[in-house]
Amino acid sequence: MVGVFAALAFGGVSSLATAADVVVDGRGEIPYVIDGRNVVTRSGTELCWRTGYWTPAAAAAAQAGTVPVGCACDPDVVPKEKCMPPLAAAPATPPPATAPTAKLITLSTKALFDFDKAVLKPAGKTAIDTEVLSQLAKMKEVTLITVSGHADRLGSAQYNQALSEKRANAVKSYLVSKGVKTDLIDTYGFGKTQPVPGVRCDDALGRKKLIECLEPNRRVVIEVKGNP
């Protein structure tokens, strides 16, 4: 309905010139209104229509081809280096002895932080030492570490967005304190926009039990890329 309303309100904005189209590929939470062609809907003044879940992090995460959607829609909020087109393919070379790998590590915020806090607990630091730093030590080369913070649905979208970002940055700060290079780490906060599938909690449970039920949604996801 939002996409239909936007199109009617601005006189068929989906018929803009093909050169202005921003086509999304479905990766990540899309923070813009899209039409039936997977093209971002624009206003009569060429502005991309944002959804209510738009955040700078979401604009930088959702993909349109080889770069984030936000590179075309909100270039002022997406780091310029993320909007650089990929370099031309180099001449074929023999494959490396070991192929690059990517490993996802999900840490519960129950271990990392107290409820509604963004200060790492001693147990949280131990969890990072055991689950993350131990993996980094086994790798020949680390090329990228992505730290994503997530919150449950309790509280406003704005509050949970800020909290998830603070938690992701707290994990990054700890990794840097342990010798990981800061320029290898990207952080994102997704607030309450990406709950864990299958976690269903009735508000009738009462606040204490509801907080316990929603615990899987309060998490930090760390993706480590590199050569083993």
Please list, in sequence order, all residues whose beta carbon lies within 8 angstroms of the beta carbon of residue 178, skipping any fewer than 6 positions away.
129, 133
The answer to whether residue 55 sits within a structural domain is yes
**Beta partners for 150?**
219
The answer to whether residue 193 sits within a structural domain is yes
Indicate whether 72 and 151 sit together in one domain. Answer: no
The answer to whether residue 222 sits within a structural domain is yes
Indicate whether 75 and 106 sit together in one domain. Answer: no
Indicate whether 124 and 222 sit together in one domain. Answer: yes
Q: What pLDDT does 190 receive?
A: 94
Q: What pLDDT does 20 receive?
A: 67
The answer to whether residue 96 sits within a structural domain is no
**Domain boundaries, position 119:** 101-227
Q: What pLDDT does 27 receive?
A: 63
The answer to whether residue 91 sits within a structural domain is no
pLDDT, one tens digit per residue, over 81-108 is 878 876 666 677 766 666 677 777 888 7
Indicate whether 144 and 191 sit together in one domain. Answer: yes
**Beta partners for 225?**
102, 144
List the chain residues with pLDDT less than 70: 1-20, 26-28, 86-90, 94-99
Q: What pLDDT does 1 receive?
A: 39
Indicate whether 114 and 69 sit together in one domain. Answer: no
Indicate whether 45 and 150 sit together in one domain. Answer: no
The answer to whether residue 94 sits within a structural domain is no
Indicate whether 183 and 105 sit together in one domain. Answer: yes
Indicate whether 138 and 174 sit together in one domain. Answer: yes
Indicate whether 128 and 175 sit together in one domain. Answer: yes
The answer to whether residue 93 sits within a structural domain is no
Indicate whether 70 and 122 sit together in one domain. Answer: no
The answer to whether residue 161 sits within a structural domain is yes
Indicate whether 8 and 116 sit together in one domain. Answer: no
Tell me the C-alpha distance between 109 and 149, whole Å.
Answer: 9
Tell me the C-alpha distance between 176 and 120, whole Å.
Answer: 14
Q: Write down which residue in 38, 55, 83 finishes a domain.
A: 83
Tell me the C-alpha distance between 127 and 144, whole Å.
Answer: 20
A 10 A CB-CB count for 145 gives 22
